[in-house]
Amino acid sequence: MLSRFAQWLSAEKQLLPHTVDAYKRDLEQFHAYLHEQYGISEPHQITKAIVRSWFVSLNEEGFQPVTLHRKRAALSSYCWFLAQVGYYIAVNPADVELPKPQKRITHVAKQSSVLALLDDHFPDTRKGHRDYTILEILYGTGLRRGELINLTIQDCQGDNLKVRGKGQKDRFIPLNPTLREWLPTYMSLERSYRPLDEHSHLLVTDKGKPLYPMYVQRAVKQALQRYTTLKQNSPHQLRHAFATHLLEQGADLNAIKALLGHEQLSATAHYIHSSIKHLKAVYQQAHPKAE
């Protein structure tokens, strides 16, 4: 049944592969708990009390609230799916209260640091070209890691980048002059290593396979460590920097929302906190009551 659920998540809900994999792992963990603690396996036997006991055990094991909320989302979706395919579930047992995740303050790399990083000397090798391309795209477009990995040659032609985001929804992001000049050069360099057509992945390993998440993670971390003292050196750091630096330059929050591919403005508003000093400065300069 988990396999059918995973297929449904991919085909109907159109979740990204890493999200589907995370949900599967969560549910496998829940099934193991049911078997070990209660000796049950039938969906109609699951109650809110049992679900609460699972979350209590996870909390005692040290799982963070944000992880618990994801596991609840996985279980809630699974129970809804089971009800749709004919299993009797009177009330969704995953509808339980959990501790609220603490809001974490993300420290964002300064514009000067990121620009210095991109002006750095990258080796004139296939790996050097690839790593530079990763960094330029992440900071120049604000893509998620999965969106970057899934880019094709066709997506990167012209003045705009075509991005397949969450929910398989397309959006278009303008390419800055650096990317407009570099991407054709990068594609030309890649042709000496592999045949390219419109459906080829833009970024591949030396063996010609699509990049894997850990490669991108490692490339970004190694690069950021050279120019910042940040503890958070993930690809998302460059996405956050993209949004924050746009905001600091006066970009409209709704425009940033569209560029990031957010459904709700509340998700984009998360990036405001790191620019509060800038917003205060704007207020002081612009508001008639600020003096």
Q: Which residues are catalytic?
A: 144, 166, 236, 239, 262, 271
Euclidean distance between CA atoms 14 and 12, whole angstroms: 5
Q: What Rg do the C-alpha atoms of the chain give, in angstroms? A: 22
SS3 210: strand
The secondary structure of 113-160 as a DSSP string is HHHHHHTSPPPSSHHHHHHHHHHHHHHHH---HHHHHT-BTGGGSSSE
Euclidean distance between CA atoms 224 and 156, whole angstroms: 25
Check if the beta carbon of residue 261 is closer than 8 Å to that of residue 163.
yes
- From the list 179, 102, 104, the residue with the least C-alpha distance to 143 is 179
Q: How many CA atoms lie within 13 A of 49 on its CB side?
A: 3
Beta strands in the chain (DSSP E): 160-164, 170-174
Check if the beta carbon of residue 271 is closer than 8 Å to that of residue 244.
yes
- From the list 10, 39, 40, the residue with the least C-alpha distance to 23 is 10
- From the list 223, 224, 211, 242, the residue with the least C-alpha distance to 145 is 211
Euclidean distance between CA atoms 273 and 157, whole angstroms: 35
Check if the beta carbon of residue 81 is closer than 8 Å to that of residue 8.
yes
